[in-house]
Amino acid sequence: MEPVVENVSALDAVRDRLAALPGVEHVIIEGGAVWLVRSAGVGPAIDLVDAAGTVLRDEGLDPGTVGIEIVTSGGERKRVRFEGVERTDLPELRVRVRVTLEWQGESVTGEAEGEKGLNIELRTAALAALDALDRVAGRSLEVRLAGVKQVRAFDAELMVVSLYRTQPEFQKFLGVVLVGPESLRASALAVLHALNRVLGNFLATR
């Protein structure tokens, strides 16, 4: 994928203008995508996408060729906590991944199975985390996994998880965390980063 801006000074100008948008805490520009980390409760994400598109057009770029992703900062409102991830080898080159979360002093475990291989196992870990969150909620949250990818940006390894749901309206969620020494753990944590605020709102109304 081609970079958004090749000239360093032009890249800095684009980043500075995007960072100045209301509610934006951090900007990551990597390859052909722009990620905007916004504060919780600053208004609809679609408004921020429109504003970012205006900035890109002003800087001579076509928003239609640039992926604009919105990441909502989790802030301090952490309701569900991560406890651990466990990987088990199964016959026929398959693995089982279990993700354990803590909710109100109790451990809740979700699991998923898949084939061996790092990229596939990252997806399996994310699916196990989604299963654990469904168990915490007591029903399916109807959240689907779009993809998991480890990327390098600004001398840091990041785990990026893309999620979505179509009911009651279409919503897209993006979780981004530093990878650290365990990639499966990072995949599960990225799911929590993407959904903890949504889950917190849901649990607060139970």
Task: State yes or no: pLDDT of 75 exceeds 60.
Answer: no
Domain range summary for the chain, segments of one domain joined by +:
8-72, 81-204
Residue 96 has what pLDDT? Answer: 94
Residue of 71, 181, 190 whose CA lies nearest to 129? 190
- Which amino acid, residue 110? G
Task: State yes or no: pLDDT of 157 exceeds 60.
Answer: yes
pTM for this model (two decimals)? 0.60
Task: State yes or no: pLDDT of 201 exceeds 70.
Answer: no
Write the CATH number of the domain with boundaries 81-204.
3.30.160.270
Tell me the percentage of the chain whose pLDDT exceeds 70. 80
Superfamily of domain 8-72: ANL, C-terminal domain (3.30.300.30)
- What does the pLDDT average to over 146-166? 86
- Tens-place pLDDT, residues 103-150: 777 888 999 999 998 889 999 999 999 999 988 877 888 889 999 988
- For residues 64 and 31, the model is more confident at 64
What is the rounded distance in angstroms from the CA atom of residue 100 to the CA atom of residue 50? 38
Task: State yes or no: pLDDT of 13 exceeds 90.
Answer: no
